[in-house]
Chains A and B, each alone.
Chain A
Amino acid sequence: MPQLDDRTEPHSELADGVSAQVPTTDEVQIKTPENIGGMGHRKKRKEDPRFLQGKGNYVDDVKLPGMLYMDIVRSPYAHAKINKIDASAALEMDGVLAVITGEDLKAAGDLHWMPTLMSDTQMVLPIDKVVYYAQEVCAVIATSRYIAADAIEQVFVDYEPLDAVVDPFEAMKDKVIVRDDKDKKTNHIWHWEAGDKAATDAVFNDATTVVKEKFYIPRIHVSSIETCGMVANYNKVREHMQIYMTSQAPHAHRTVFALVSGIPEHKIQIISPDIGGGFGGKVPVYPGYVICAVASLVTGKPVKWIEDRSENLQADSFARDYHIEAEMAADKEGRITGLRVKTLSDCGAADAAANPSKFPAGLYSICTGSYDMKAAHVEVDGVYTTKPPGGVAYRCSFRVTEAVHMVERMTDIMAHDLGVDPADYRLKNFIRPDQFPYKSPTGWEYDSGNYEAALNKAMDMIDYRGLRKEQAEKRAKGELMGIGISSFTEVVGAGPSKDYDILGIKMFDSAEIRIHPTGKAMARFGTKSQGQGHETTYAQIIAEELGLPADDIEVEEGDTDTAPYGLGTYASRSTPTAPRPTASGPTRAVLPQLRARPPQWPRGRSGPRRRRSPRTC
């Protein structure tokens, strides 16, 4: 029996300068000829030539005539009363046009609060108090970014520090109330449960082995290399708001802006240009965006706001911050029978996790993972603390990472306590292929899967048994070697609407393909790439489905005036969700006609003129 003391092992590390390479054994099935270039063809990315030559177009590259700049005064306290904001010195500076405070936003129609995507509320700018460090306090509008940065130093805010509460267990005691704007004076936001409590208690009563563990999955920050930013351009005559913004979900953001500002949705255009990485951090609507839009509304000029790195790290959306207590039960054969989980979700000063499911803890109830068990019960409580709000980040966010980490560690611990190899233990407890479609004890339906085959294949690829032998030999010599295993069942695609929703819009995506008379196509989507390469992938999928060459398909996303409504790109949803409509019947019907009768230049007239290279001036 191998030594399985995995709990105390340090992570294994790659030697300095060595990259891990895992060969794949699968043959890629290619169904289209080279000139069509559908799925499986090796293609260089269509978007790369512009990025490689410095010709991308990111938000900070947008320059509009007469554009003003915004900078934000932020709180030096995690919790403090605001007695007074004195902006007079800033306003006297040359080039400073306005200082926007919470009072101003209130006067402009209660814009000092905004709804979060979780049906909570969040301050845009405070009037009475601040509830997290680096919270937006007021904003300066000036003619240059240097003057704006100077002017925020000339705004004097009289704060009265209050006790901060940064530990959710402390917060649950309600000694310091974070949100005294609420009727109920408590930091407890919500309680949510999934699964069957009585059935779970019963399997634990009958269990032969029970293991328990506590986990803290700490706050993390996505830190995309491009920070967040916006250029808002309000046209008073047209009563039209044009917004360039770092947005992973331009249409959803348009709807939010309409709801917050009262500007009718058809008078708002959001353009999400090239994005320098999103990772979930460009899903939430931050106060800075709203203030910037208001600044343009007030001044009637385009206003640019680009967050700096410190602001991005201090105040933008975090993820995780889950305190988990888990128990797993097994019967006398060692088979997993149940899972009982209690979790405290530290939401920060607002519940703003921007998660697209109908559940406050996102997709956390996927936590029974790939294992078949009789019962499970999950409880989560959301708590306010004096920390920035958030909850969304990369690697299967919406609480799937937390769920998977927990169940995989519990499985390891159970295997360890039973003295069984963790891979064998997983093989024994996986949902079997003949059990699909499988209804999980927390209510998810798994349509298909063969987890055993997948793990066996992975084990063959790395020669798992050989590695265990090597590990035993090394350990005999006193050398440490660790082997980690994790299986992962995730809900991807952020759909269907039965379980998914944001703002009552539900979750879906759309595509619109226009085929031009010459057989070239323009395809537009409601998703938004932040580096994923949609322009290439989508073109290949359309090529596969419709038989048009991928090179003849221009893919466009991010402009709400031209793209069809969609819910954006996050949660690994875009490729499985967005290009599917491309294979629809009507599109297929049009193509044969075009192929049969391609447009011809009329006889007797000279042909189309050769394209000349544009003259340089």
Chain B
Amino acid sequence: MSEHEVTLTVNGESVTRSVEARMLLVHFIREDLSLTGTHIGCDTTSCGACTVLVNGKPVKSCTVFAVQAEGAEVETIESVAAGGVLHPLQEGFWEKHGLQCGYCTPGMIMTAKEFLVRNPNPTEDEIRRGISGNLCRCTGYNKIVEAIQYAAEKLQADAGGE
């Protein structure tokens, strides 16, 4: 199996590693970089537990090779609480009980983070569609939707206040 050198930015830090061509991005993130907040829940690109942002867009990192991320900016859940302060989404999930086992949560938050950039003032229905690529087996989604609504309001208020 051929080895390739990849250089990418992960959570603001430039990393260079030699990887096998077939190394999945999710394994690269979890195992080579020890960022284990990104999870694996399936082998069919169905669950979204592995969602990270690549150049600002949510990507299921189980279905992308590490070499495809050459030169990209990758953001994982570990970067979301900037300077140790919880992001409004993290706050929302905590406040509204948007998680139980927490396994789907990082993927949900990454998906929601980009979604709220695209749609800062979403309806409940739009939120449900926005996270339809992420599965949660514990909560039944209602509380996740409320968490995202909470974050949307908070982000709007913060933006208005500036």
Residues of A within 8 A of B (CB): 16-19, 44-45, 47-58, 60-61, 63, 145-146, 223-227, 274-277, 279, 308-310, 530-533
- Separation in Å of the B159 CB from the closest CB of chain A? 22
- Judge whether B20 is part of the interface by a CB distance below 8 angstroms: yes
Contact status A52-B22, CB under 8 Å: no
Partner of B81, one of A48, A53, A145, A275: A53
Would you give the 0/1 interface string for B19-51, flagging 1 where the beta carbon is closer than 8 Å to chain A? 010110001001100111111111110110100
Query: By CB atoms of chain B within 10 A, which of A53, A277, A310, A531 has the most?
Result: A53
Q: Are A54 and B35 in contact (CB under 8 A)?
A: yes
Min CB–CB distance B135 → chain A (angstroms): 6
CB of B128 closer than 8 Å to a CB of A: yes
B100 touches A533 (CB 8 A): yes
Tell me the complex Cα distance, A146–B22, Å.
9
CB pair B101 A54 closer than 8 Å: no
Residues of B within 8 A of A275 (CB): 101
Partner of A226, one of B22, B39, B124: B39
Q: A19-B142, A223-B137, A225-B137 are in contact. Are A53 and B128 (CB under 8 A)?
A: no
Residues of chain A within 8 A (CB-CB) of B106 are: 54
Taking the complex as formed, is B150 at the interface, i.e. its CB lies under 8 A from any CB of chain A?
A: no
**Is there an interface contact between B103 and A58, defined as CB atoms closer than 8 Å?**
yes
Query: What mask results when residues 78 to 105 of chain B are scored 1 for a CB within 8 Å of chain A, else 0?
Result: 1011000010001001110101111111
Interface residues of B in 49-81 (CB under 8 A from A): 49, 76-78, 80-81
Q: How far is the CA of A531 from the CA of B99 in the complex (A)?
A: 8
B86 contacts across to A, CB distance below 8 A: 49, 52-53
With A225-B135, A309-B43, A533-B100 as known contacts, state yes or no: A52 contacts B105, CB within 8 Å.
Answer: yes
Contact of A51 among B95, B102, B125, B136 (CB under 8 A): B102
Across-interface contacts of B145 in A (CB, < 8 A): 19
Known contacts A56-B37, A58-B103, A48 near B125 by CB under 8 Å: no
Q: Which residue of A48, A49, A63, A279 has the most chain B CB atoms within 10 A of its CB atom?
A: A48
Q: For residue A558, give the distance in angstroms from its CB to the closest CB of chain B.
A: 13
Task: Tell me, in angstroms, the Cα distance from A361 to B31 when the chains sit together.
Answer: 44
Q: A533 CB to closest chain B CB, in angstroms?
A: 7
26 A-B pairs within 8 Å (CB atoms) are namely A17-B125, A19-B124, A45-B97, A48-B93, A48-B102, A50-B102, A51-B99, A52-B81, A52-B99, A54-B36, A54-B38, A54-B78, A61-B36, A223-B137, A226-B101, A226-B103, A227-B41, A276-B101, A276-B104, A277-B137, A309-B41, A531-B99, A531-B100, A531-B102, A531-B103, A533-B100
Taking a contact as CB atoms under 8 Å apart, the answer to whether A532 and B90 are in contact is: no
Are A60 and B102 interface neighbours, CB within 8 A?
A: no
Closest to A394 in B: B137
